[in-house]
Chains A and B, each alone.
Chain A
Amino acid sequence: MASTAQSIIDGTSVTRVERASTLGACGALLHRDFVLAWRRRGELFLPLLYAVIVAALFPFALGPDPELLVRIAGGVLLVIVILAMLPALESMFRADLEDGTLEQWLLAPQPLALLALTRVIAHWLTTVLPLIIVMPLLGALLNLPVKVLPVLIVALLLATPLLVLLGSVLSALAAGARRSGILMALMLLPLAVPVVIFAAGAIAAAQSGMPFIAPLTWLAAALILAIVLAPLACAAALKIAVES
């Protein structure tokens, strides 16, 4: 039953109620998250600033050895991006749990897992994509070889959504807990290690002129699996968060 007959509030006319479509609901959530991100653009700028500062400090701390920088740049940039995106991951559902928005998610006639996936997409677009966009600048700061840059960017485009998906489950689980930041870091670490290994593997292979497709395909496979499974787990965790 897509719609039910019901009178409007003044009781004068009986017409059909328009039920919200799932696509429309996801669009409304995306729009809301973008508006909120724009209102808090100062906050969103912080991870970017952090990444630029760390990337700028590294060459000073290691000394003027271009050869050393070329060797480590890819790995360092990978870790910088992961660390920069970690703080925002923790609060993915925090505000919505506190102001009761999650209660409305739960009661709305929409699949919770799809709302969770939409939130993941909005989160990735607003907090992680800017980090990837400044990658050429950060690569230049760390003397990253130009031929490695595209591989690094593709590896990040695959690895960061995967991490946000994993993080969404943990964030939903930890949403009710106080000071969940350190908890998040501890829980995400073991899950992030394989992602880092494959991404770093692709970068190292590209650097030494070897084929780098295999590790990237592994990342892509893991990403597809996570797109299917993580929202379901996230939805279950959100239910628990609202119930407790």
Chain B
Amino acid sequence: MTTPPALAAPLLSARRLAFSRNDEPVFGPLDFSLGRGETLLVEGDNGSGKTTLLRVLAGMLPPGEGDIRLDGQPASRDSRNGRLLWLGHRSGMNESLSARENLEFLAGLYGVRPGATAELAMERVGIAGWIDEPLRALSAGQKKRVGLARLLLVPGDVWLLDEPYANLDRHGIELVNALIAEHCAGGGAALVTSHGAVRFADSRARHIRLVA
């Protein structure tokens, strides 16, 4: 794992990656690579396969064709090993539990970044006062922020963010952009989907455009 070629290889790369459902092509074939510090914006209309692409990369769907590599090695459940963090439409959090309980459970599953705590993460996303409220009492935007707090709490190299801007106000959108920028500055990488209505902060970020 310390061989020079593996270090030189991009964090996440895909070659001729395609996915079909019932013989209908959903996306692809796609070629891209994502190195440390890079952000890749996946754009496309509703139904163009953005979420499916992220689910395939996360390993929640088997790729139809092509291959996915992590550090130059073929991606598998073992090699992913919690290095990919997924924030989808479903928060992965229980509505009856508070943000603190949810975050602590997920930290138990994934581990904790050094120095990170649920309180600090909630403070960073601006809703520290809601940490002990049951999640069902929070608005959709606030729940989204709790999901972002999870990204700050648990370690992971590649963020797979499916529509992170949904339900967020202007400040929330700026927050997402700031968090992605910090994550990439710290050596991480992010793959972000958007239907194109939101202006992405880093105009130099590379784009993939999916068409339905």
Complex interface: chain A residues within 8 A of B81 (CB): 109
B128-152 residues with Cβ-Cβ distance < 8 A to A are 152
Complex interface: chain A residues within 8 A of B62 (CB): 243
Please measure, in the bound complex, the distance between the C-alpha atom of A17 and the C-alpha atom of B155, giving whole angstroms. 7
A9 touches B101 (CB 8 A): no
Cβ distance A12 to chain B, nearest Cβ, rounded Å: 9
Given the known A-B contacts A16-B114, A20-B110, are A10 and B86 also in contact in the complex, defined by CB atoms under 8 Å? Answer: no
Name the prevailing secondary structure of the B interface residues.
Answer: loop
- The reply on B44 being an interface residue by CB < 8 A is no
> A104's closest neighbor in chain B, by CB?
B92
A107 touches B186 (CB 8 A): no
A108 touches B109 (CB 8 A): yes
- The reply on B175 being an interface residue by CB < 8 A is no
A25-61 residues with Cβ-Cβ distance < 8 A to B are 25, 27-29, 31-32, 35-36, 39-40
- The reply on A63 being an interface residue by CB < 8 A is no
- The reply on A95 being an interface residue by CB < 8 A is yes
Complex interface: chain A residues within 8 A of B107 (CB): 20, 28
Total interface residues on B, CB under 8 Å, equals 48
Given the known A-B contacts A19-B111, A28-B108, are A9 and B116 also in contact in the complex, defined by CB atoms under 8 Å? Answer: yes
Task: Give the A-B contact count at a CB cut-off of 8 A.
Answer: 134
Complex interface: chain B residues within 8 A of A95 (CB): 94
Chain A 105-128 interface mask (CB, 8 Å, partner B; 1/0): 111111000000000000000000
- The reply on A217 being an interface residue by CB < 8 A is no
Complex interface: chain A residues within 8 A of B116 (CB): 8-9
- The reply on B91 being an interface residue by CB < 8 A is yes
Given the known A-B contacts A1-B1, A7-B186, A108-B82, are A99 and B112 also in contact in the complex, defined by CB atoms under 8 Å? Answer: no
Complex interface: chain A residues within 8 A of B105 (CB): 28-29, 31-32
B108 touches A6 (CB 8 A): no
Chain A 1-23 interface mask (CB, 8 Å, partner B; 1/0): 10010111111010111111000
Please measure, in the bound complex, the distance between the C-alpha atom of A48 and the C-alpha atom of B161, giving whole angstroms. 43
A103 touches B86 (CB 8 A): yes
Please measure, in the bound complex, the distance between the C-alpha atom of A1 and the C-alpha atom of B24, giving whole angstroms. 40
Chain B 37-77 interface mask (CB, 8 Å, partner A; 1/0): 00000000000000000000011111000000000000000
> B153's closest neighbor in chain A, by CB?
A9
> B78's closest neighbor in chain A, by CB?
A109
- The reply on B16 being an interface residue by CB < 8 A is no
Please measure, in the bound complex, the distance between the C-alpha atom of A100 and the C-alpha atom of B188, giving whole angstroms. 24
A107 touches B80 (CB 8 A): yes
Residue in B109, B111, B157, B183 whose beta carbon sits within 8 Å of that of A105 in the complex: B109
Complex interface: chain B residues within 8 A of A19 (CB): 82, 111, 155
B90 touches A8 (CB 8 A): no
A134-156 residues with Cβ-Cβ distance < 8 A to B are none
Given the known A-B contacts A8-B186, A19-B82, are A243 and B96 also in contact in the complex, defined by CB atoms under 8 Å? Answer: no
- The reply on B97 being an interface residue by CB < 8 A is yes
Chain B 158-190 interface mask (CB, 8 Å, partner A; 1/0): 000000000000000000000100110111100
A103 touches B88 (CB 8 A): yes
Complex interface: chain B residues within 8 A of A1 (CB): 1
B residues with a Cβ closer than 8 A to A are: 1, 58-62, 80-86, 88-97, 101, 104-116, 124, 152, 155, 157, 179, 182-183, 185-188
The 3 A-B pairs of least Cβ separation, nearest first, read A28-B108, A100-B90, A109-B82
**18 pairs, A vs B, C-beta closer than 8 Å:** A6-B113, A8-B186, A10-B182, A13-B115, A18-B111, A20-B108, A28-B105, A35-B97, A99-B90, A100-B89, A101-B94, A103-B92, A104-B109, A105-B109, A107-B80, A108-B110, A110-B82, A110-B109
